[in-house]
Amino acid sequence: MKMPRREFVKSLATGAAVAPALAGMGTEGPPISPGEVRNVVVIGAGVFGAWTAYHLHHAGHKVTLLDAYGPSNAHASSGGESRIIRVGYGPDEIYSRSSMRSMILWKEFFRTLSDPLYYETGLLWLAHENDPNAQATLDMLKKLGVRHEQMTRAQLEKAYPQCTFGSAAWAIFEPESGALIARRAVQALVRELVKQGVRYSQGAALTPAGKGRLDAVRTRAGESLSADLFVFACGPWLPKVFPELLGNRIFPTRQEVFFFGSPAGDRRFTSPAFPTWIDVVAGVYGFPDLENRGVKISWDSHGPAFDPDLGERLVTRQSVAAMREILAQRFPALKDAPLLETRVCQYENTSNGDFLIDRHPDFANVWLVGGGSGHGFKHGPAVGEYAATRILEGGEVDRRYSLATKGTEQKRAVY
């Protein structure tokens, strides 16, 4: 998958005009003069923040990375064991291209490590009759020249006899996609940044006061970090740090994840016998047993509102029972599988699922990078690269990433 930086950034052409009521919010600003070294503070050491820090650092700027709980911590949306990386995104070429670029950058970084943090399990996209999103995915993969295979129901059943496919009529298989080991990948990236001279500090950022230009960000512990530029990439904490601006535009939701153990000695649920998979219509996805943690399965539908600081991270008995029903329907051999582990994390959803990469409307030197919306982890490298390019070179951000297109009512449009 070839997707150089310039080609990727240029491919994100700005679309139609923004909503008139929000026109003028963020979106454009002056570039940084070539060779001009700036001090930058990036707030949030999750996948978006760490990769933004990476690209700003490699552009020659002095970067401090700040996080309230630590890189890819248990509170964070980047803190889970695994995340899907795929190219198929229905008709959304912007995300297919972003994923292609991210896959290149993830693999480049992982080649510097001795620890395998990417598993090329393949990605199986289950499709149904009269499934426009799946058909659009197929068309986009063809357009972009992405390796894939279209599978009939008969081919599915032959390839994966350990599975049942319900109402799925066909599928798309991306052999080069798979699973990222999320928490350890971000932590490895931050460790490498620190080795290269990026400063890391732990502290909870307070809401900036005033307008015009921000001189420093302050923490609850009384620390003050001065800089020329500030990037707030703090995921589900964005609406807490900027309650008036984002309190009703980013919606953290509670998401439950389950790991079930396959029978002793049974390799049918490990890669390559069993792929990473997604059923958009049913709103469920899963992974093979990676690193002996168990078969992972979860819902992709948005859960109830959730506080990333105070929310209790225990799944309910009702959720376990409901997930066992799905497990028994799709993977009969796992009907009575032991529940090895559970996790409650969160999505930080924008109104429609598009990312937020834009300048703060009240501060000339503050940028907002977030709104991963449950699908963002894979895009971390490309998001950081795109954000750094817009910050340093100026120009208008893509309309879909702009603050102006983020509404106050959830109408998910990205899958």
Closest CA to 65 of 37, 44, 79: 44
For 236, half-sphere exposure in the C-beta direction (CA atoms, 13 angstrom radius) is 27
Kindly tell me if the per-residue pLDDT of 13 is higher than 80: no
What is the pLDDT averaged over residues 246-272?
97
Kindly tell me if the per-residue pLDDT of 19 is higher than 80: no
pLDDT per position as a tens digit, 141-164: 999 999 999 999 999 999 999 999
Name the residue ranges covered by the structural domains of the chain.
Answer: 5-405
What is the pLDDT averaged over residues 324-335?
97
Least confident of 17-26, 107-116, 165-174, 322-331: 17-26
Specify the higher pLDDT residue, 11 or 182: 182
pTM, 2 dp: 0.93
The pLDDT assigned to 111 comes to 96
What pLDDT band is residue 1 in, cutting at 50, 70 and 90? low
Kindly tell me if the per-residue pLDDT of 31 is higher than 90: no
Residue written as token pair 């001090």:
39
The pLDDT assigned to 30 comes to 61
pLDDT per position as a tens digit, 196-222: 999 999 999 999 999 999 999 999 999
Query: What is 5-405's CATH topology?
Result: D-Amino Acid Oxidase; Chain A, domain 2 (3.30.9)
Contact between 404 and 19 (Cβ < 8 Å): yes
Average pLDDT over the chain, rounded to an integer: 93
